Structure 1
Amino acid sequence: MSNPRSFIEGLTASGPAAEYADQLMLYGQFVGDWLAETVEFSADGTVTHSQWDIRFDWVLEGRAIQDLWITPVRNGTEVRWSEPGNRYSTTLRVYDPKIDAWHIIWINPPGGYITRQLARKVGDEIIQLADVDASGSLTRWVYRDITRNSFRWCNERSVDQGKSWRLMQEMRAKRQG
């Protein structure tokens, strides 16, 4: 006999797991729907603007946060897998009490990207740092200017082992609803 619950019901949770509820609120504060205006800065100087639909929710019995990052915003329209700029991605954020940090895995099937990061709160920011990539660069994704209804997210790259950072992408998100 199969379980009558659906996959989605088994995945989602109503809130943080009680044991680490305070620590889980680092990303739990973002649970809900967001709309972001984004600017990307290419190495060749090209600047691209886009709009993103971002959704955060509790998963895995409240032990993790999963989110969707979607551009272009769908509004009921289908976007082809190979359309330039198509990102229909998901992030799984799992708190690890042994190291008091978060394991982050971002997956973007249309672009073929998988990024692994380790995240911690540093001052008023949340910094997600990835390992050195094939080109020898470091990347970090930083949540800044966080309020209940807005945040700024920055994708930054360093070619000098973190001494300086170049802004690659900036999102300004506002909570919806």
Structure 2
Amino acid sequence: MSSDLSGAVGAAFLAEGPADGVDLSLFGQFAGSWALDCTEYDPDGSSTVRRGEWHFGYALGGRATTDVWILPGVEHGVSVRFPDPSAGAGIWRSTWVGPTRRRTHTFLASRVGDEIVLDGGDLRWTFSDIGSDEFRWRNEARQPDGVWRLQQTFQVWRRS
């Protein structure tokens, strides 16, 4: 792709902020660049820690948020999220794409107490301990017996 075209795609996709009258604060609070430590938990109890980065912003004419997380050598994933009042008050739709591992996941997201929970049926992602300069994120999968197994955690801190 030529640099002119990639710049045009970025300019068409990204937005400076929310569109007038669109409340994107649930995920918009994360706008900016973050560093992270990702811990991946294997079923045998072993774990691996990797350093990564996460970038949040606004997209699609200011009607959605987007983010890209990068674990070098593992995955570059992108999410697009938007509020959907037709799904219920405070409900967001979220789609994540991870091309390296060839995965896509869809979720309904909402605030639950002090957390943001993304429910994907047998997959649950949770933002917790949310502060202005740091937060935690976890990825859990429902096992055949109905028990949730922790797959990943991110400790995340703001870079800009």
Greater Rg, structure 1 or structure 2?
1
Q: Give the unaligned 5+ runs of structure 1.
A: 73-82, 132-137
Which structure carries more strand by proportion?
Answer: 2
Equivalent residue letter for 1:31: A
Over the aligned positions, Cα root-mean-square deviation in angstroms equals 1.5
Equivalent residue letter for 2:81: R
Mapped to 2, the partners of 1:119 and 1:140 lie a distance apart of: 10
Deviation for aligned residue 1:94 = 1.6
Q: Deviations over 1:145-165 (max 9, x none)?
A: 00011110001123344xx53
Mapped to 2, the partners of 1:155 and 1:10 lie a distance apart of: 31
2:35 alignment partner in structure 1: 35
1:108 alignment partner in structure 2: 98
Percent of counterpart pairs with the same letter? 34
1:91 alignment partner in structure 2: 79
Segments ≥4 residues shifted beyond 6 Å: none
Report the TM-score, using the length of structure 1 for normalisation: 0.80
Mapped to 1, the partners of 2:115 and 2:148 lie a distance apart of: 15
1:130 to 106, 120, 128: 120
Deviation for aligned residue 1:16 = 1.1
Q: What count of residue pairs does the alignment treat as equivalent?
A: 151
Equivalent residue letter for 1:171: F
Mapped to 2, the partners of 1:11 and 1:168 lie a distance apart of: 31
1:10 to 5, 9, 12: 12
Q: Give the unaligned 5+ runs of structure 2.
A: 1-6
